[in-house]
Amino acid sequence: MISIGGKPPPTLITATGLDSSSSPKLGFVIASAPSGGSVINLRSRGSLRIKAVEGSRRVNLNGKVDDSKDESTNGHAGRNFTQLSTVGSSTNIKWHECSVGKVDRQNLLKQKGCVIWITGLSSSGKSSVACALSQILYRMGKLSYVLDGDNVRHGLNHDLGFKAEDRAENIRRVGEVAKLFADAGVICIASLISPYKRDRDACRALLPDGDFIEVFMDVPLQVCEARDPKGLYKLARAGKIKGFTGIDDPYEPPLNCEIVLEYKIGGGASPCEMAEKVLSYLEEKGYLEA
């Protein structure tokens, strides 16, 4: 056998649950080495799990790291991954943990993953601020991704309309995708009307404390309606669009959001200036460094 790092190779001492005459079944091989060597625990296919013990720290590939300071649990710390579970309508499922975790990805990108959730009326400037922020981050060498409300309805959510239940499902799906981006270490910028507080709060609950940054575009309805770049307010006023937020469907403003971008009479800040305010928050909270 080949020595590793100048240490003696491991010596096989026992085998359990294996049949040398056929394919391995569930079981494991325990190997030990003379003083200073490594201990390897290998379970056969069907329950593959490789462990390496060095000093007092144990590393499990495709398993949890046995280190209380490790944070590579993909936002699912505290769960029992050894048992099958039921989530919603999905039964007999088991979370598969990877040895490369969120902290590893953040260290690679030199930033912290989070979700910036920009909410407000149609034509309030959400998409403009989102793209301006993404451009600034790009110039700084930081990785971000914009989940735009209209864009996601071209693909992921093309099967949803604008009834209350469809709006809720639209936000739920975007929230789950945004969580994955944040877990990947990416700064995810979600730009959606998201009119209902309960739906935004449900998305906030998906992420660790502090990682959901709600940004409210506080722009009066009359200003948004005067802008109306898509002509949607005009169609809503004519009764050609039903359930339009701000006209015949309510918008529930955030009560305790992290950032408010307020319109000021006589000309407010530009999208870039508003994006700079969000950027300052990210810098202050340490999201632009690992």
Catalytic residue among 122, 128, 191, 194: 194
Q: Indicate if 56 belongs to the active site.
A: no
Distances (CA, A) of 45 to 13, 25, 27, 39, 257: 20, 7, 9, 19, 49
**Residue 213 per-residue DSSP state:** E
- One-letter-per-residue 3-state SS of 25-47: CCCEEEEECCCCCCEEEEECCCC
Task: Compute the half-sphere exposure of residue 114: CA atoms within 13 Å on the CB side of its CA.
Answer: 24
Q: In angstroms, rounded to a whole number, what is the distance separating the alpha carbons of residues 263 and 139?
A: 26
Buried b (16+ CB within 10 A) or exposed e, 201-235: eebbebbeeebbbbbbbbbebeebbeeeeeebbee
Catalytic residues: 194
